[in-house]
Amino acid sequence: MKAAETVTAQQQSVQHDGDVVLARQMGRQMAMALGFSKPDQALIATAISELARNIVNYASHGTVDAQPVSDGRDTGLHVVVSDRGPGIDDIEAAMTDGFSTGRSLGLGLPGTKRIVDEFDIQSTPGKGVTVTIIKWKHR
Amino acid sequence: MAVRVPILRQGSHLIASIQEELSDSDILNLQSRILDEVVKRQADGVIIDVGALDVIDSFGTRTLAEIASAVQLRGAKMVIVGIQPEVALSMVLLGLTLETVPTMLDLDAGIAELNGAAR
């Protein structure tokens, strides 16, 4: 049986900063179960940590959903981090290194994009943010 | 649940040995306790052992750098020890560096660094 078939989708609700730790542990455990290398497990956990922190900092509540994906050749971990907070007015600016509206280094979103294989961000001002990332095992 | 990192005293040094994953508020709590202890104990060196951390992200990096700066302003020196290799790799790829803080392989090397610097 392939690893991807034994790992089921999981969700972590995020409201407090303790939930950020739970979300990244969930991602790491799923990555480990899917057979990701240790560096990739750390990258996945770090990416989830950055994205889930944005929920705590900018929205009051959100979710992290993780599930295995396959494109026929490779297995990946697909993670959706979503909130119904104020949204992002200028996504292009938010994706620039050093840009921050809060008390941060402004590396969260662009840094996260660098450490995953696929990155998509959708936001409607007033309606929230949804970030989707995929990390593939063999690329 | 809040995690309270033990801060041990060894001679004139303080050693904060992180045992488990920390939330942002746990890290901020550690920051204020280290600064309190440096003043109270008149410590001249601080070692933070981060070997148990699976993730050091932008918030963690920034806070560690802030602790080091504050400790240095008190005339003491801070060393971070035990960054796991995969954590180090993630930090580099994320664009995070700890250029202002000396980092050493392990606790022994950290203590040697502080003692060497004190001479």
Within-domain flag for B78: yes
Q: Hey, what are A56's tokens? A: 């705590």
For the stretch B73-105, pLDDT in tens is 999 999 999 999 999 999 999 888 888 899 999
B13: pLDDT strictly greater than 60: yes
CB within 8 Å: A111 and B95: yes
Report the residue from B25, B62, B89 with minimal CB separation from A42: B89
Chain B nearest CA to A112, separation (Å): 7
Cα–Cα distance measured from residue B74 to residue B97, given in angstroms and rounded to the nearest whole number: 23
**pLDDT confidence of residue A96:** 82
Q: Which domain holds residue B39?
A: 7-118
Residue B34 lies in a domain: yes
Helix (H) and strand (E) counts in chain A: 5, 5
DSSP string, B48-67: EE-TT-S---HHHHHHHHHH
Contact B90 A50 (CB under 8 A): no
Pinpoint the alpha helices (H) of chain B: 24-41, 58-73, 85-94, 107-118
How many domains is chain A built from?
1
Q: Domain total for chain B?
A: 1
Q: Parallel, antiparallel, or unpaired for β A10-14 and B77-81?
A: unpaired
| Mutation site, B59, B64, B87, B97, interface A, largest A CB count within 10 A | B59
CB contact under 8 A, A21 and B25: no
Nearest by CB: A46 against B21, B24, B90: B90
- Given CA atoms B5, A22, A20, A136 in this order, what sign does their dihedral have? positive
Chain B nearest-CA distance from A71, in A, is 25
In whole numbers, what is the pLDDT of chain B averaged over residues?
93
Q: Does A17 sit within 8 Å of B24, measured CB to CB?
A: yes
**Residue B21 is part of a domain; what is its CATH number?**
3.30.750.24
Which residues constitute the domain of residue A58?
3-136
Tell me which residue of A91, A79, A76, A80 sits closest to A123, measured CA to CA: A91
Q: What is the CATH number of the domain that holds A71?
A: 3.30.565.10
- pTM across the whole model: 0.91
pLDDT tens-digit series, residues B19-77: 999 999 999 999 999 999 999 999 999 999 999 999 999 999 999 999 999 999 999 99
Q: Check if B108 contacts A (Cβ < 8 Å).
A: no
From first to last of the 139 residues of chain A, give the pLDDT tens digit. 455 568 999 999 999 999 999 999 999 999 999 999 999 999 999 999 999 999 998 898 999 999 999 999 999 999 999 999 999 888 888 888 776 665 555 567 888 999 999 999 999 989 999 999 999 998 8
* Cβ contact A20:B24 at 8 Å: yes
* Angle at which helices A108-115 and B85-94 cross, to 10°: 120
Q: Which residues pair with B45 in a beta bridge?
A: B13, B77
